[in-house]
Amino acid sequence: MATLQDIADRLNISKGTVSKALNGAPDISETLQKTVLETAVEMGYTKIRRQKAAEKKLCILIENVDYKESHQFGYEILLGFRQLAEPAGYTVDIVDTTEKLQKSTPYDVFMLQNQYLGAFVVGFSLNDPWMKDFQTSRTPTVLYDNYIIANPNMAYVGIDNNEGMELAVSHLKKLGHKKIGYLSSALGSHIMQVRHKAFFHALKQNGLKSDPTCAGSSYYITQCMEKHLPRLLDMGITGIICSYDLIANAAMIQCQQLGYKVPDEISIIGFDDLPICAYTSPPLTTIRQERIQLGKSAYYALDSLMNQISIGTLLLHAKLIERGSTGEVLSDK
């Protein structure tokens, strides 16, 4: 692996200047510091730097996910990660990540600059700039609900979405539903694509009609309710599975406003089991993600990567939580 002298020789500067740049010395210009950091990453100096770091630091990079209050989706995921990482002696920084940050600083450079040993990445979309960096990154990194192929430094954690969708479709089938639809947010993230595909696979596995017109996706929930829900109802759909709970709750409210009784005339299933699900009207049947366990599994995976154990994918079992929003088919609309 590269040494300080190797980096200095590459850039034709002194070893001392390299050291000062890596340590953020104030008398080194930002331009030179950036050049040194990028060269250090390119030459593989990252791991040496981390092995010598006095403070054991990890970060959670989070975007597009609320996490600061206990009822929010990301709260327990981050809590589970910290519950294992901090007793193991790590400082865990939570970094609200922006597109501006990702465009201004390459991922490995950011990690080296801040002396982070590894990262847990939550809420990134497929078009985030660092998603490209992850393909070749040398930094141990665990992605929640995202997948990077063929990089031994990257791992993917989540729940088994195929299992979850199978549980949802099987549940509706047992209740007599033969016409099942699907509502989703836009398919611009890995997990939305996975669940969309899993829905149609589950229909086929259960011997039910698999028609692309039975699904609808939109960027905004209101658009999804206005454009796709009435269409599914007009098609005679009696059961609807939603890609996440907030869409499912919106669908229940909209169906009731249109005069449909839930679950007598239309059954609805969500995904995630947010705390609000027990208090919707009626309480929402959903697929549970054990979020604290997801956070803990992310730490297990990251710890493995940091010890040169190349974890690829770690999926937890899904669980159907049956509540009042699903019931037997009383009429074939």
Look at the alpha carbons of 257, 259, 263, 269 in this order and tell me if their dihedral is positive or negative: negative
Helices (DSSP H) in 206-325: which residue ranges? 221-227, 229-234, 245-257, 291-306
Give the burial class of 89: count Cβ atoms within 10 A of its Cβ; 0-12 exposed, 13-18 middle, 19 or more buried: exposed
Q: Which amino acid is at 200?
A: F
Average pLDDT over residues 304-318: 95
- For 126, other C-beta atoms within 10 Å of its C-beta total 13
Name the DSSP letter for residue 179: -
Helices (DSSP H) in 161-283: which residue ranges? 161-174, 190-205, 221-227, 229-234, 245-257
Strand order in the sheet with 285-288: 215-218, 180-185, 239-242, 267-272, 285-288, 319-321
CB neighbour burial string for 277-303, b if at least 16 within 10 angstroms, e if fewer: beebebebbbbbbbbbbbbbbbbbbbb
With a cut of 90, say whether residue 266 has pLDDT above it.
yes
332 vs 184 pLDDT, higher one = 184
Paired residues of 241 in beta bridges: 182, 269
280 vs 40 pLDDT, higher one = 280
- For 16, other C-beta atoms within 10 Å of its C-beta total 11
Tell me which CATH homologous superfamily contains domain 161-289.
Response regulator (3.40.50.2300)
Q: Which amino acid is at 186?
A: A
Answer whether 161's CB lies under 8 Å from 194's CB: yes
- For 55-159+293-317, which CATH class? alpha beta
Which pLDDT band holds residue 41 (cuts at 50, 70, 90)? confident
The reply to whether 1-41 and 55-159+293-317 are identical in fold is no
Answer whether 70's CB lies under 8 Å from 103's CB: no
The 10s digit of each residue's pLDDT in 110-169 is 999 898 999 999 999 999 999 999 999 999 999 999 999 999 999 999 999 999 999 999
Q: Which residue has the tokens 């009207």?
A: 281
Tell me which CATH homologous superfamily contains domain 1-41.
lambda repressor-like DNA-binding domains (1.10.260.40)
pLDDT at 333: 42
Name the DSSP letter for residue 187: S
Among candidate residues 128, 167, 169, 172, the one with its CA nearest the CA of residue 146:
128
Answer whether 214's CB lies under 8 Å from 204's CB: no
Look at the alpha carbons of 110, 114, 115, 117 in this order and tell me if their dihedral is positive or negative: negative
Residues contacting 258, CB < 8 A, separation 6+: 230, 233
Domain ranges of the chain: 1-41, 55-159+293-317, 161-289
> Tokens in use for 121?
């990445």
Share of the chain above pLDDT 90, in %: 80
Q: Which residue has the tokens 């080194």?
A: 28
Report how far residue 237's alpha carbon sits from residue 56's, in angstroms, rounded to the nearest whole number. Answer: 54
With a cut of 70, say whether residue 285 has pLDDT above it.
yes
Report how far residue 89's alpha carbon sits from residue 107's, in angstroms, rounded to the nearest whole number. Answer: 24
The 10s digit of each residue's pLDDT in 49-79 is 555 555 799 999 999 999 999 889 999 999 9
Q: Which amino acid is at 300?
A: Y
- For 154, other C-beta atoms within 10 Å of its C-beta total 25
Report how far residue 284's alpha carbon sits from residue 324's, in angstroms, rounded to the nearest whole number. Answer: 6
